[in-house]
C-alpha cells in the first residue's frame, strides 16, 4: 500500500522574503512545516547568499509553478571590482585580480551591450547538468567544467549607485535562465577589470513582488496566532498573464472529468483577443487559458477551434 503524504491539504502561494545563508530547498521545507502542508515547491532558485522574493507554491498551486518561472525577474546586486572568485560571489576563493576601478561614466557606457537578447556563459558553480551531474558538484571536486553560452533576455540593466571606487550597485530586469553572477563577471571584463557579486536581492518574480513578501519569522508569528492563511495567495496568482474563462457548474463537472467544453462565439473571440505569445519549457502555450468558477481556478487548458480542452485540473475545496 502506498504511503500517504503527511500534512494538510493547503493550497496557494506564499511570497517568502528568503533570508541570507539559506538554500531555496531549506526555505521551502520551512514554509511547508509552518503550514503543515502536504506538498510544496518553489518558482526559481535563489542562491544561499541571496535574499528576497522566493515564491513558494503549496498544494494545487504547484501545478502553476512552470507559469510562475516564466515571469520576468528583477534583481538588485552589488559588484565588487578588482576581484574575481571561482564562484563569482563572496563565498568563493580569489582566482583573479585587477587594479582597474571603472568610473561611473565608463560603466554606464557599456550597459547597452548587455540588454536585449545576449549570449551568457553560466557560472561553473551552478545547478546546470553536465553529463548527468551538477556543474557545482564537478567544480567542487576540482574537475574542469566548460559550459556553453546560452541566449538570455535582459530587459533592462541600470547602474543605481557607486558608493565607492570598489563597488557598484545595479538593477537588472531579465527573463528565465539569466545569472547575475555571470553578469558581474562579464561587466567587469568589458570594463577591463575583474568583479564578483557581494550582495544580491531579488525584488520581483512575475506577479510576485517584494512589497507583498513575508519573512519566515513573520509567518511563524502568524501561524502562532492561527492566522497563517492570511499570507496565502490564490492558486491562480501565477496565471495573471493568461486569459481567464468564466464557466458554469456543469462545465466544471465536465472539465474535472477531463472532457472538453464548447466555447460560445463571444468567449472564443474574447480569448483570441487577449492571447499573447507564451512559451513554457520549449512548448508553445499561446492558446492556454484559465477556466474559473466564481473566481476559483478550475483548470488550465487550451482554447482553440471553438473548444476548451483541460490540460491541468485543480482539485480545490469549495
How confident is the model over 206-265, as pLDDT tens digits? 999 999 999 999 999 999 999 999 999 999 999 988 999 999 999 999 999 999 999 999
Could you give the number of structural domains in the chain? Answer: 3
Together in a domain, 98 and 154: yes
Burial 248-276, CB ≥16 within 10 A → b, else e: eeebbebbeeeebbebeeebbebbeeebe
For residues 96 and 140, what is the distance between their CA atoms, to the nearest angstrom? 18
Q: Do residue 265 and residue 141 come from a single domain?
A: no
7, part of any domain: no
- The 10s digit of each residue's pLDDT in 263-287 is 999 999 999 888 888 877 778 888 9
Q: Please check whether residue 139 is in contact with residue 145, taking contact to mean a CB–CB distance below 8 angstroms.
A: yes
CATH number at residue 261: 2.30.130.60
Its domain, for residue 226, covers 12-71+207-236
Residue that is last in its domain, among 217, 236, 255 = 236
pLDDT for 128:
77
Q: What is the mean pLDDT of the chain?
A: 92
Same domain for 306 and 269: yes
**DSSP assignment letter at 4:** P
Give dist(CA 207, CA 69) in Å, integer.
10
Q: Are residues 67 and 100 in the same domain?
A: no
Please report, for the domain that includes residue 185, its CATH number: 3.30.2350.10
The predicted-structure confidence for 81-119, as pLDDT tens digits, reads as follows 999 999 999 999 999 999 999 999 999 999 999 999 999
Residue 3: pLDDT band by 50, 70, 90 thresholds?
very low
Task: Compute the average pLDDT of residues 154-162.
Answer: 98
Same domain, 40 and 107: no
Q: How far apart are CA 189 and CA 261, in angstroms?
A: 56
- Determine how β-strand 116-120 pairs with β-strand 150-164: antiparallel
Marked catalytic residue, from 47, 89, 141, 156: 47
> Across residues 170-193, what is the average pLDDT?
96
CB atoms within 10 A of CB 74: 19
47 is catalytic: yes
Please check whether residues 102 and 190 belong to one and the same domain: yes
- Do 161 and 95 belong to one domain? yes
* Domain shared by 110 and 178, yes or no: yes
Same domain, 16 and 88: no
Amino acid at each position: 500500500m502506498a504511503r500517504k503524504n503527511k500534512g494538510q491539504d493547503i493550497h496557494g502561494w506564499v511570497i517568502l522574503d528568503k533570508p541570507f545563508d539559506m538554500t531555496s530547498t531549506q526555505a521551502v521545507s520551512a514554509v511547508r512545516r509552518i503550514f503543515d502542508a502536504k506538498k510544496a515547491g518553489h518558482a526559481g532558485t535563489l542562491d544561499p547568499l541571496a535574499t528576497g522574493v522566493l515564491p513558494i507554491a503549496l498544494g494545487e498551486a504547484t501545478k502553476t509553478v512552470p507559469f510562475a518561472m516564466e515571469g520576468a525577474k528583477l534583481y538588485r546586486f552589488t559588484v565588487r571590482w578588482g576581484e574575481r572568485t571561482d564562484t563569482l560571489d563572496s563565498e568563493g576563493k580569489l582566482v583573479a585580480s585587477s587594479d582597474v576601478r571603472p568610473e561611473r561614466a565608463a560603466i554606464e557606457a557599456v550597459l547597452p551591450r548587455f540588454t536585449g537578447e545576449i549570449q551568457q556563459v553560466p557560472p561553473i558553480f551552478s545547478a546546470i547538468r553536465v553529463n548527468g551531474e551538477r556543474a557545482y558538484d564537478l567544480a567542487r571536486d576540482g574537475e574542469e567544467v566548460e559550459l556553453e553560452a546560452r541566449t538570455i533576455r535582459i530587459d533592462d540593466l541600470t547602474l543605481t549607485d557607486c558608493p565607492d571606487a570598489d563597488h557598484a550597485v545595479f538593477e537588472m530586469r531579465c527573463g528565465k535562465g539569466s545569472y547575475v553572477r555571470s553578469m558581474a563577471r562579464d561587466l567587469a571584463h568589458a570594463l577591463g577589470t575583474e568583479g564578483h557579486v557581494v550582495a544580491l536581492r531579488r525584488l520581483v518574480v512575475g506577479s510576485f513582488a517584494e512589497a507583498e513578501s513575508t519573512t519566515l519569522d513573520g509567518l511563524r508569528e502568524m501561524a502562532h496566532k492561527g492566522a497563517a492563511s492570511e499570507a496565502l495567495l490564490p492558486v491562480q496568482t501565477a496565471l495573471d498573464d493568461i486569459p481567464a474563462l468564466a464557466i458554469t457548474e456543469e462545465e466544471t463537472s465536465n472539465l474535472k472529468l477531463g472532457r472538453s467544453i464548447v466555447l460560445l462565439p463571444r468567449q472564443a473571440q474574447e480569448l483570441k483577443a487577449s492571447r499573447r505569445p507564451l512559451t513554457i519549457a520549449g512548448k508553445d502555450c499561446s492558446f492556454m487559458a484559465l477556466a474559473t468558477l466564481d473566481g476559483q481556478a478550475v483548470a488550465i487548458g487550451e482554447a482553440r477551434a471553438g473548444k476548451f480542452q483541460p490540460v491541468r485540473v485543480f482539485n480545490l475545496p469549495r
